[in-house]
Structure 1
């Protein structure tokens, strides 16, 4: 049998479906039409992002596996698997109170610094460091939280909630939905005790993403919309944390709506996100989350790409402020945005520009790009113009883009 990367998308879907699941069964499980599944397996036409998500979820796999960038059941290397085990142990044991042996836990200040480093590592796509820092905070933080009182207990509760959230985000990114939900459950319990509505709202944005990755698109929209109502700033009187959380939730809702190809809802949500960003006036970070005018526009590019509105995506990307993202923009966010731009450039026939953008991503984040699905999508579209250049790009960035 050919290597997984050499197969077409249709053959991969058929292989993943196997003999125990009919095309109709796959269509029913994915909530798609039988005709669409048949066309997909015959490689007739291009699948939308939403359809890819639905198929991947129904096949218990990831979009990158369907696109040939990861072989089935081998998406994580040994380092990621070890980090995930450490993170899983910390999430469960800390929540269960099994922190015996921690006689001298770190101070609140030290735990806060470790929490910040966990988030920095997450946005640098460094799973091992996320696991190391988050495990330290969860185990030592819970040990100290058990006997803390007053303001110290409140500070620890906030630090722990934020750390469980980064654990949930990391787990979800690795396809470990159950672990992500377990971590988020602990985070929501702590945030409720602290009484921080902004933190609680941001936890809901993570839950929305978990539903999005699980192809539960209506729930992803509903969760984000419901949470936004709890922190919606009144006209001219919203705090900066409220504006940040509200804007980020509107982005979550817009992303999920765009994957459902609901243009009207996506446009409405992204409009509200832009309004919140304008009131903020500048990009800021809070609890590991960034939002502001530039972040909103970067996210809007991806949303318009999902809606196949490539002209609007390129119009936004061409604005002067988008040429230089804020200094604190993470490597992951920066390159995810660039991949969206490359896809829009490709769709608009700007093949040379799309290839150059893809090279920028591969050179800036060589490890991260290997685990992304979009380079494969872009590569196949660019190959229609020049297979030799696509092969050269693949060799340069270390990612096989075409067979």
Structure 2
């Protein structure tokens, strides 16, 4: 295949193909398009680069310092963590649990400033609680609480793209859940780890991890609790998402078929675990089916499926619903419907600006909409979005 033929089959510009072949780095969706054209897994196109080739700023080192100190404190030769000179806290587990729930709610409310302000102190305090209650049921409860808090931290840090720190938080959350012999909590940490791996382009690992864990926790449907169905269904949805992005559409469909079993078993109910996998019901599977069609470059199917989901009524969280709307905006751009895409993005900007700020796909979709709009002068909404996404 010539470069021109590959560019045409992948729906990319010739300049992009040439850049990639010369060793340049593209966006993940660019590799998806190339993988579809070449009929290979997306992960087959990734090659290791030189980490030192790009100069990195020091901003994140300062902004994330309190969370770094709380999640990865230095360890003395004795093996004890060096937590600094801290005032002895009130180690009431019930109060700490209430604080953890409030911070999880802040995440879903897109109040990232609140999370970054109070999460470091809570992590440090729950570490001290685990040390204080060193045995018995209180120790087990403290381990579960620390796992939940670290899962909230891992979720937030993945959202803001602090991936290495997120990995440390989720690793420790998984270890705490295992020490407490809590399989559902451990599975929730695995679910979040799968999201992190996907964000890093580690698609093979994300799929294998989620699917293996789903196999391990597969419940007996007739006796399963809502929580057991929720975590099993969520893991299958995660595996499907990774497979779809890895150009494995048949496997992605099969995993969603299994996830629908969990959604059907819930009836009209909703399973919920706010620290890890959030909420799960039939609509979770439907939203993932739509997202997989975006990845497969099937915009008409996206619009059609979205209309059916909306007509059926949804109970999704704001984050899940907003993510779905981004998929719809991207489909409109694929269909060269720039005005429709702009309307979706403008509504998200109005309703959830803090969440939208951290969605790289949103900025990319807006830039693409500008290219297909054909307008010489931007509309008011386009100007507002240009300023928000810092697009010239």
TM superposition score normalised by structure 1: 0.77
Aligned pair 1:395/2:375, yes or no?
no
Aligned to 1:120: 105
CA contact (8 A) 2:342 2:382 kept: no
Shift of 1:299: 2.8
**Range with greater deviation from structure 2 (288-297 or 51-60):** 51-60
CA separation of 1:297/1:125 partners in 2, compared to 1, >3 Å: closer, same or farther?
Answer: same
Counterpart secondary structure, 1:105: coil
Aligned to 1:263: 249
Aligned pair 1:147/2:132, yes or no?
yes
| Equivalent of residue 331 in structure 2, options 321, 328, 344 | 344
Gaps of 5+ in 2: 1-11
Aligned to 1:137: 122
Alpha-carbon distance in 2 for matches of 1:53, 1:112: 44
Gaps of 5+ in 1: 1-7, 38-45, 62-70
Shift of 1:222: 0.3
Aligned to 2:93: 108
CA separation of 1:89/1:198 partners in 2, compared to 1, >3 Å: closer, same or farther?
Answer: same
CA separation of 1:183/1:334 partners in 2, compared to 1, >3 Å: closer, same or farther?
Answer: same
Counterpart secondary structure, 1:358: helix
CA contact (8 A) 2:227 2:272 kept: no
Alpha-carbon distance in 2 for matches of 1:158, 1:57: 37
CA separation of 1:322/1:110 partners in 2, compared to 1, >3 Å: closer, same or farther?
Answer: farther
Shift of 1:25: 4.6
Aligned pair 1:299/2:288, yes or no?
yes
Alpha-carbon distance in 1 for matches of 2:183, 2:17: 43
Alpha-carbon distance in 2 for matches of 1:400, 1:171: 20
CA separation of 1:141/1:294 partners in 2, compared to 1, >3 Å: closer, same or farther?
Answer: same
Aligned pairs, number: 364
Alpha-carbon distance in 2 for matches of 1:322, 1:152: 47
Aligned pair 1:84/2:55, yes or no?
no
Aligned to 1:97: 81
Alpha-carbon distance in 1 for matches of 2:230, 2:377: 42
Q: 1:253-332 to 2 correspondence within 5 Å?
A: 253-281=239-267, 282-288=269-275, 289-319=278-308, 321=310, 325-326=314-315, 329-330=317-318, 332=319
Alpha-carbon distance in 2 for matches of 1:264, 1:198: 28
Alpha-carbon distance in 2 for matches of 1:12, 1:73: 24
1:126-179 CA-to-partner distances (Å, cap 9, x unmatched) read 333223332232211121221324322222211110111122222223333321
Aligned to 2:201: 215
Shift of 1:300: 2.5
Shift of 1:264: 0.3
CA contact (8 A) 2:302 2:328 kept: yes
CA contact (8 A) 1:123 1:333 kept: no
TM superposition score normalised by structure 2: 0.79
CA contact (8 A) 2:226 2:271 kept: no
CA contact (8 A) 1:253 1:269 kept: yes
Counterpart secondary structure, 1:220: helix
Q: 1:173-188 to 2 correspondence within 5 Å?
A: 173-188=159-174
CA separation of 1:213/1:347 partners in 2, compared to 1, >3 Å: closer, same or farther?
Answer: same
CA separation of 1:171/1:347 partners in 2, compared to 1, >3 Å: closer, same or farther?
Answer: same
Q: 1:23-42 to 2 correspondence within 5 Å?
A: 23-26=21-24
| Equivalent of residue 248 in structure 1, options 203, 212, 234 | 234
Aligned pair 1:161/2:147, yes or no?
yes
1:344-402 CA-to-partner distances (Å, cap 9, x unmatched) read 23324544332221211111122332332223333344332333576543323333586
Shift of 1:285: 1.8
Shift of 1:185: 2.0
